[in-house]
Chain A
Amino acid sequence: MTGYIFRRILQAIPVFMGTTFLIYFMVFAMPGDPIVALFGDKTPNPAVVAQLRAQYHLDQPFIVQYLIYLGGIFRGDFGLSFSGEPVTAILARTFPVTARLAILALLFETFFGILVGLISGLRKGKLFDASSLAVSLVLISLPIFVIAFVGQYVFGVWLGWARTTVGSGAPLQDLILPALVLASVSFAQIVRLTRASVIETSGLDFVRTAYSKGLSSRRVIPVHILRNSLIPVVTYLATDFGVLLVGATITEGIFNVPGVGNTLYQAIIRGEGPTVVSFVTVMVLIYLVVNILVDLFYGLLDPRIRYVK
């Protein structure tokens, strides 16, 4: 297992270098003055421009600029935001809120997604299955901001069950609606994936053998069918984390959740380019780390990976 962890982390290094390089490249290798481009149609404060030029070492050759920037990331220095506040300071303030929202959403989507998917898979072709398939198809087709607005309108304006914007300090009860919205698309995907996986696993030989040993379905379903069906779901959760991050940006923006996503959202809306770049970098790094963690978890789930010779 240690060998597996080591290998997985080793594999992540070139990807990490590549992604940071790519982001840097997208911004600073474009034609024209990147700093001006980042501000779009806004007139920047000359002091901020000078500050940015120094921060990004634009007088140096491109590759040197990148290496300096990379060194900064390793030291935990993501530069300053548009307003001049260190990005790390903003992160320290906003990250706990986003973490709470994301964990809540992950709990919703995995718990209900797996549950509905399992029931659906076990009752293939029945009414429950047909309706869960239909609902999930519709949910997948709805862009997250549409779900957010519909949620806001139905539960906030119409029924009055929830607040349409999250209060200061982001109390948990205010986060429930945004978390449900954030969870909705992935929930639908998890339902479909779990269902497919459960149906496939149920038809496998070892399940029949488990029954032939005299086991009851109360044991076979969780221990042999569900347990094995979780492996593709976990794989999906890893790749889907990127969708969750984008979703968090939009959801936090619409519900005004004071999190990392909202900071990015506000920066995008206001056209504050440098902040956008810093926060996208942060999110990509989170995504990479989560993927490594999920892969390690995957190793726990699947002994064939753990004990690879």
Chain B
Amino acid sequence: MSVPLSTSAAVKPLLEIKNLQVGFQTQNGLVPAVNGIDITLMPGQTLAIVGESGSGKSTTAHAIINLLPGSGRITGGEVLFEGRDLTQLNEKQLEEVRGRMIGFVPQDPMANLNPVWSIGFQVEEAIRANGIATGKEVKQHAIRVLKEAGLADADKRLRQFPHQFSGGMRQRVLIGMGLSSRPKLLIADEPTSALDVTVQRVILDHLATLTREIGTAVLFITHDLGLAAERAEQLVVMYKGKVVESGPSREILENPMHPYTQRLVAAAPSLASRRIQSSQKNLTDLGYSAPRAAEGLDLVEAAAARAGKQAATPVAGGPAIKVDGLTKVYRIRGAKRDARDFKAVDDVSFTVERGTTMALVGESGSGKSTVAKLLLRLEDASEGTITIGGRDTATLRGRALLDLRRTMQPVFQDPYGSLDPLRNIGNTIAEPLQVHRVGDRASRRARVDELLDQVALPSALATRYPNELSGGQRQRVAIARALALKPEIVILDEAVSALDVLVQAQILRLLADLQAELGLTYLFITHDLAVVRVIADHVCVMQRGKIVESSTVDKVFDNPQQDYTRELLNAIPGANLKLGV
């Protein structure tokens, strides 16, 4: 398989981006998104651009094939593809390049297929447009392409519509389309970030095999450093529209030079969990030290600090939460009177000790969020009991239910939906106090200031509105609101999932500090097993409504008992990286 290169100079770069500048025209003039970046990609190579949202990574990807959204335009620089500057091509010439020479796999499979046309139609039009096949061969080629992409029954599914496909299957269709004309370059823009981790793994494996066979170079855009390092030989780290560091993946991971990259390495949960794994065995041998400039963002350090504090304050009293045989059945209304029962939560039992963190891990549809709703009495259980602080919650009404709500508060996932946009921050945080008639105006205001301070936000924000804040700041406000009534239990339903890694690390750190300070009990619901390693003591793995494995975090990570747990663990990006740190 390996044919050595005769001379390195003989291989010309496939793609050379030189001093590329992209800006978006707004009311306030041209806002730059990419400020002069250089990237070189060799034929057959896989290169990943890593960055947080707003770093300019997706804009770069779109600029290559000149598909910038809205008012975006290239304001300078060159995009040399096989020596030809793509920025100088006219529309007709660009059409020749797109699809045929450069394939594109977009981010959100749900939004990238036209809902009104069948799958077959959309694949076939791509094949026809690029002149890959004509006449009756088009359909045959479409079937072949989809089969390659992993849709075994493609011939039967050509006439189906996108909404009849799952997210993973749609992404396979998009990959099939992107590769249908054997392009020399495939741009994959966060191709799996909308999918479950296990699906992500299978699809990326498949993509890697396919592109290797065809010899297609891949430009892989992702926010996940672990994923990037695992999937690409070369890494480009972008920050504020600039390349801050680039080079071979392993080297960057092991020896990040730029402080921003150091932060990213320190804060990426996938890498952190991997590092913790290795550190237990030979941390001292490796002489592990936190990357410089990590400034409290190092998750390994955070986890160690947390473990230390947790050990220092022994658990007292009975369990905070005891769930026994919890079951929730939904009636699904079918078209032909086939109303059937769907067990979203199926005989779930677990106990959360006071002052500890229990993580509930599962993929979409596993029932983990339903458990949260049942605990919070947002919905009623079909069967089973929930005991909180020694009391069965099912029978609580009125005053007693209010008391229960006072001891247990939630933080939800969507930072843009969790705060009422028309209420200022102060009123939002004070609402729990108002509802529960705690204190008077002045004391509430004092409490709001105190809470803002606890979540490290300035008290000046009290009179401001949510849309002035970033996602991470909104989540802090949500945490402050949850803490207003001094609850014992906080239910964190994917509370950090929507955040960029650095912000996520910051919030995880904040949560750990608050737990140590206030003795809180957390139920941490997440799809991301990597985060669990950093924040939790115990973990329950859920699959299709059932708990398949339940143990301490160390045991689950070091010695998983179930196939599904192993699958999840292997799906954590970076699983194949032998990270000694």
Residue ranges of A at the interface with B (Cβ–Cβ < 8 Å): 3, 203-206, 208-217, 219, 223-224, 227-228, 231, 301-304, 307-309
**Interchain CB contact (< 8 A) of B108 among A203, A205, A223, A224:** A205
Identity of the chain B residue whose Cβ is nearest the Cβ of A227 in the assembled complex? B116
Q: List 14 A-B contacts (CB under 8 A).
A: A208-B106, A209-B174, A210-B114, A213-B177, A214-B97, A214-B126, A214-B129, A215-B95, A215-B99, A216-B95, A227-B116, A227-B117, A228-B115, A228-B116
Are A214 and B99 CB-contacts (below 8 A) given A203-B70, A303-B161? Answer: yes
Q: Are B70 and A212 in contact, with the CB atoms below 8 A?
A: no
Given A206-B115, A303-B116, A307-B164, 10 more contacts at CB 8 Å? A206-B111, A212-B98, A213-B99, A213-B126, A215-B129, A217-B91, A223-B117, A228-B114, A231-B116, A304-B115
How far does the Cβ of A196 sit from chain B's closest Cβ, in whole Å?
15
Q: Are B99 and A212 in contact, with the CB atoms below 8 A?
A: yes
Q: Are B129 and A212 in contact, with the CB atoms below 8 A?
A: no
Are A224 and B114 CB-contacts (below 8 A) given A205-B108, A214-B126, A216-B95? Answer: yes
Identity of the chain B residue whose Cβ is nearest the Cβ of A301 in the assembled complex? B116
Whole-angstrom CA separation of A212 from B174 in the bound complex: 11
**Interchain CB contact (< 8 A) of A308 among B69, B95, B112, B335:** B335
How far does the Cβ of A124 sit from chain B's closest Cβ, in whole Å?
10
Identity of the chain A residue whose Cβ is nearest the Cβ of B332 in the assembled complex? A309
Q: Are B69 and A208 in contact, with the CB atoms below 8 A?
A: yes
In the complex, which residues of chain B have a beta carbon less than 8 angstroms from the beta carbon of A308? 335
In the complex, which residues of chain B have a beta carbon less than 8 angstroms from the beta carbon of A309? 334-335
Identity of the chain B residue whose Cβ is nearest the Cβ of A205 in the assembled complex? B111
Q: Are B106 and A212 in contact, with the CB atoms below 8 A?
A: yes
How far does the Cβ of A7 sit from chain B's closest Cβ, in whole Å?
9
In the complex, which residues of chain A have a beta carbon less than 8 angstroms from the beta carbon of B480? none
How far does the Cβ of A199 sit from chain B's closest Cβ, in whole Å?
10
- B142 at the binding interface (Cβ < 8 Å): no
How far does the Cβ of B71 sit from chain A's closest Cβ, in whole Å?
10
Q: Are A214 and B116 in contact, with the CB atoms below 8 A?
A: no
Are A205 and B164 CB-contacts (below 8 A) given A214-B130, A223-B125? Answer: no
- B65 at the binding interface (Cβ < 8 Å): yes
Q: Are B67 and A212 in contact, with the CB atoms below 8 A?
A: yes
How far does the Cβ of B549 sit from chain A's closest Cβ, in whole Å?
33
Q: Are B69 and A203 in contact, with the CB atoms below 8 A?
A: yes
How far does the Cβ of B64 sit from chain A's closest Cβ, in whole Å?
10
Identity of the chain B residue whose Cβ is nearest the Cβ of A225 in the assembled complex? B114
Are A304 and B111 CB-contacts (below 8 A) given A209-B104, A215-B95, A216-B95? Answer: no
How far does the Cβ of A200 sit from chain B's closest Cβ, in whole Å?
12
- B100 at the binding interface (Cβ < 8 Å): yes
- B341 at the binding interface (Cβ < 8 Å): no
In the complex, which residues of chain A have a beta carbon less than 8 angstroms from the beta carbon of B334? 309
- B96 at the binding interface (Cβ < 8 Å): yes
- B163 at the binding interface (Cβ < 8 Å): yes
Identity of the chain A residue whose Cβ is nearest the Cβ of B115 in the assembled complex? A304
Q: Are A205 and B106 in contact, with the CB atoms below 8 A?
A: yes
In the complex, which residues of chain B have a beta carbon less than 8 angstroms from the beta carbon of A212? 65, 67, 98-99, 103-104, 106, 178
How far does the Cβ of B242 sit from chain A's closest Cβ, in whole Å?
25
In the complex, which residues of chain B have a beta carbon less than 8 angstroms from the beta carbon of A205? 106-108, 111-112
- B113 at the binding interface (Cβ < 8 Å): yes
Whole-angstrom CA separation of A21 from B111 in the bound complex: 45
Identity of the chain B residue whose Cβ is nearest the Cβ of A303 in the assembled complex? B161
In the complex, which residues of chain B have a beta carbon less than 8 angstroms from the beta carbon of A204? 111
Whole-angstrom CA separation of A231 from B116 in the bound complex: 10
Query: What 1/0 flags go to B123-141 for Cβ under 8 Å of A?
Result: 0011001100000000000
In the complex, which residues of chain A have a beta carbon less than 8 angstroms from the beta carbon of B161? 303-304, 307
In the complex, which residues of chain B have a beta carbon less than 8 angstroms from the beta carbon of A215? 95, 99, 125-126, 129
Query: What 1/0 flags go to B71-96 for Cβ under 8 Å of A?
Result: 00000000000000000000110011
Q: Are A213 and B115 in contact, with the CB atoms below 8 A?
A: no
**Interchain CB contact (< 8 A) of A214 among B98, B111, B112:** B98
How far does the Cβ of B280 sit from chain A's closest Cβ, in whole Å?
43
Scoring A214, A301, A303 by chain B CB atoms within 10 A of each residue's CB, the highest score goes to A214
Whole-angstrom CA separation of A209 from B178 in the bound complex: 9
Whole-angstrom CA separation of A170 from B425 in the bound complex: 67
Whole-angstrom CA separation of A309 from B115 in the bound complex: 16
How far does the Cβ of A10 sit from chain B's closest Cβ, in whole Å?
13
Q: Are A219 and B115 in contact, with the CB atoms below 8 A?
A: no
Whole-angstrom CA separation of A227 from B114 in the bound complex: 10
Q: Are B96 and A214 in contact, with the CB atoms below 8 A?
A: yes
Whole-angstrom CA separation of A308 from B161 in the bound complex: 11
Identity of the chain A residue whose Cβ is nearest the Cβ of B92 in the assembled complex? A216
How far does the Cβ of B366 sit from chain A's closest Cβ, in whole Å?
22
Are A219 and B129 CB-contacts (below 8 A) given A3-B335, A206-B111, A228-B114? Answer: yes
In the complex, which residues of chain A have a beta carbon less than 8 angstroms from the beta carbon of B125? 213, 215, 219, 223
Q: Are B335 and A303 in contact, with the CB atoms below 8 A?
A: no
Whole-angstrom CA separation of A214 from B117 in the bound complex: 17
The 10 A-B residue pairs whose C-beta atoms are closest, nearest first, are A214-B99, A212-B104, A213-B126, A205-B111, A214-B98, A303-B161, A213-B99, A206-B114, A209-B112, A205-B112
In the complex, which residues of chain A have a beta carbon less than 8 angstroms from the beta carbon of B99? 212-215
How far does the Cβ of A155 sit from chain B's closest Cβ, in whole Å?
40
In the complex, which residues of chain A have a beta carbon less than 8 angstroms from the beta carbon of B177? 209, 213
How far does the Cβ of B570 sit from chain A's closest Cβ, in whole Å?
30
In the complex, which residues of chain A have a beta carbon less than 8 angstroms from the beta carbon of B115? 206, 228, 302-304
How far does the Cβ of A216 sit from chain B's closest Cβ, in whole Å?
5
Q: Are B95 and A206 in contact, with the CB atoms below 8 A?
A: no
Are A209 and B113 CB-contacts (below 8 A) given A217-B91, A304-B163, A307-B161? Answer: yes
Identity of the chain B residue whose Cβ is nearest the Cβ of A306 in the assembled complex? B161
Whole-angstrom CA separation of A3 from B337 in the bound complex: 12
Identity of the chain B residue whose Cβ is nearest the Cβ of A206 in the assembled complex? B114
Whole-angstrom CA separation of A119 from B22 in the bound complex: 28
In the complex, which residues of chain B have a beta carbon less than 8 angstroms from the beta carbon of A224? 114, 117
In the complex, which residues of chain B have a beta carbon less than 8 angstroms from the beta carbon of A213? 98-99, 104, 125-126, 129-130, 177
In the complex, which residues of chain A have a beta carbon less than 8 angstroms from the beta carbon of B65? 212
In the complex, which residues of chain A have a beta carbon less than 8 angstroms from the beta carbon of B96? 214
Whole-angstrom CA separation of A213 from B335 in the bound complex: 37
Interface residues of B in 471-510 (CB under 8 A from A): none
Q: Are B116 and A209 in contact, with the CB atoms below 8 A?
A: no
**Interchain CB contact (< 8 A) of B100 among A203, A206, A208, A214:** A214
Are A211 and B114 CB-contacts (below 8 A) given A3-B335, A216-B95, A307-B163? Answer: no
Whole-angstrom CA separation of A204 from B92 in the bound complex: 22
Whole-angstrom CA separation of A243 from B335 in the bound complex: 34
In the complex, which residues of chain B have a beta carbon less than 8 angstroms from the beta carbon of A223? 117, 125
Identity of the chain B residue whose Cβ is nearest the Cβ of A210 in the assembled complex? B114
